[in-house]
Structure 1
Amino acid sequence: MASISFIIGIIGNIISFFVFTCPIKTFWEVVKNKSTEDYEVFPYIITLLGTSLWTFYGCLKPGGLLVVTVNGIGATFQFIYVTLFLIYAPKNKKVRAAKLVALLNVGFLGVVIAVTLLALHAKLRLTFVGLICVGMTTIVYGSPLSAMKTVIKTKSVEFMPFLLSFSLFLNAGIWLIYAAVIRDYYMTVPSVLGVLLGIIQLILYAMYKKKPMSTKSTNEMQEKGSDNAIKEDLEMQVCNNNGDDCQCNRKENGQYAIKDSEKQFL
């Protein structure tokens, strides 16, 4: 039984590693564009807290090495993602994110560790941290609900990548099997929720995958097109008022307007 759980745990570590690396492409674009666009930092902050707590749980649990390794790696990735968000987010989002990091990842985590080590006996420590981990992981698996709401509202999966949704589903499934084998009920409850939410995300992706562009993106393009049209009309009116001397400039401005319009749809 121990060898089976170890093998499943190794598989879970591998799958979890790929889950943690899924946002790399997203944050590469963030760094490249120097903007966080419409992405939200809350899922990464709460995942950083969850992986940190599970790492602590693994340290307390006898034979919890695989729990420590996977969540330690996860916490490292989430820390990097949150840091990049704080660097490239606009000022209002940056301030809000910094407050959340201070409150959850520093304050709350520090209180849990202090209470566990200083105020609880050995037998109660695992129970206390385990229950908190269940709550945090439930929130982590529930954080994509905001993205799912956006998908339903815009009828687009632009901000809910298939690879990430499928990886989360697969990850929750393998850790559910691991938890069942070692009979760890603290890991079982959130894993069941993760599987259910993963299934819902995959269903939504199948429904809206043929509509990659969000309503917001379409409206922005239409607004830009309208602005260019108004700008061109104003230029033509100025040229008409100034006579023939403006014909050459109007021609050049028209060429530039066409180029700008072409760039929007390339």
Structure 2
Amino acid sequence: MVDAKQVRFIVGIIGNVISFFLFFSPMPTFWRIFKNKSVEEFQPWPYVATMMNCMLWVFYGLPVVHKDSILVTTINAVGMGFEAFYISVFLIYCGGKKNFRRNIGLYLVAEVIAVAGIVLITLFAIQNEFAKQTFVGVICDVFNIAMYGAPSLVIKKVIRTRSVEYMPFLLSFVSFVNAGIWTAYSLIYKLDLYVLISNGLGTALCASQLIVYGLYRNATPRDEDKTKPSEIEIPATA
């Protein structure tokens, strides 16, 4: 008979698979950059920020912080690999953009220092297991909620223009499924409050994007200057 722990593991594996494809989803953008040998107007900052998010969740899922959450670590370690590749492409093909490489490098160094500080504080300054989970979990939630909420900034533009051109359905849908799976994971066997908080809110945010898409997908667009916004990526995390 399958027990709750096994069900949680199965749900976590499903979450890993869905998250993998969400991490993979920007690949067409980078194929275009590779073919054109230029980053054009694409911006690296969503990928730089996602790298920070992944590093934090890798640490959160380790037994030193949270037991029985190794699947959180595995998928975010994969995510770090994807983000490292994406950022490398930007560094290679940014061309003559002023201070581009330097700024990316500075942000990455700052992220590594920040994560190293969080790791050191957690391991050496906090002794209580619950306090460790709270300290790291709250920080992870702040970044994860921000990532899930980023595409919702486009909702105002969708309503104003009555056009869903700026809100890709597939991205919102897969993000909704991803957040829902990790919400379920957090509730099975052992409650994982911090995975629940960010992914529960992420589910609601992605649902709101899908509702707006459904309301305006057949609407007649208003004429407006169509300057596409910078690409927004949602991290596939726990």
One fold, TM greater than 0.5? yes
Q: Report how far residue 150 of structure 1 moved.
A: 5.3
Alignment partner, residue 236 of structure 2? none
Alignment partner, residue 65 of structure 1? 70
Q: Report how far residue 54 of structure 1 moved.
A: 0.7
The answer to whether structure 1 residue 40 and structure 2 residue 43 are counterparts is yes
Whether the 8 Å CA contact 1:142–1:197 is kept in 2: the answer is yes
Higher relative contact order, chain-length normalized (CA < 8 Å, sep 6+): 2
Alignment partner, residue 16 of structure 2? 13
Q: Report how far residue 147 of structure 1 moved.
A: 4.5
Deviations 1:155-190 (A, max 9, x none): 555554332221111100110111111311111111
Structure 1 alignment gaps of length 5 or more = 219-266
Alignment partner, residue 177 of structure 1? 184
Q: Report how far residue 15 of structure 1 moved.
A: 0.8
Alignment partner, residue 115 of structure 2? 109
Identity of aligned residues (%): 40
Deviations 1:112-146 (A, max 9, x none): 11222222215232221111111111122122244
Tell me which structure has the larger Cα radius of gyration: 1
The whole-number CA distance in structure 2 between the counterparts of 1:194 and 1:121 is: 31
> Greater CA deviation, 196-205 or 162-171?
196-205
Alignment partner, residue 149 of structure 2? 142
The whole-number CA distance in structure 2 between the counterparts of 1:155 and 1:179 is: 37
Q: Sort the Cα spacing of 1:38 and 1:160 in 2 relative to 1 into closer, same or farther, 3 A.
A: farther
Q: Report how far residue 19 of structure 1 moved.
A: 0.7
The answer to whether structure 1 residue 127 and structure 2 residue 137 are counterparts is no
Alignment partner, residue 30 of structure 1? 33
The whole-number CA distance in structure 2 between the counterparts of 1:27 and 1:72 is: 20
Q: Sort the Cα spacing of 1:128 and 1:101 in 2 relative to 1 into closer, same or farther, 3 A.
A: same
The answer to whether structure 1 residue 190 and structure 2 residue 198 are counterparts is yes
One-letter amino acid matched to 1:77: F
The whole-number CA distance in structure 2 between the counterparts of 1:131 and 1:7 is: 26
Alignment partner, residue 88 of structure 1? 93
Alignment partner, residue 49 of structure 1? 52
Q: What is the TM-score with the length of structure 1 in the denominator? A: 0.71
The whole-number CA distance in structure 2 between the counterparts of 1:159 and 1:39 is: 15
Alignment partner, residue 7 of structure 2? 4
The answer to whether structure 1 residue 97 and structure 2 residue 104 are counterparts is yes
The whole-number CA distance in structure 1 between the counterparts of 2:71 and 2:186 is: 12
Deviations 1:170-211 (A, max 9, x none): 100110111111311111111122112212222344455567
The whole-number CA distance in structure 1 between the counterparts of 2:123 and 2:147 is: 25
Report the structure, 1 or 2, having the larger helix content: 1
Structure 2 matches for 1:179-218, cutoff 5 A? 179-181=186-188, 182-206=190-214, 209=217, 215-216=225-226
Q: Sort the Cα spacing of 1:82 and 1:152 in 2 relative to 1 into closer, same or farther, 3 A.
A: farther
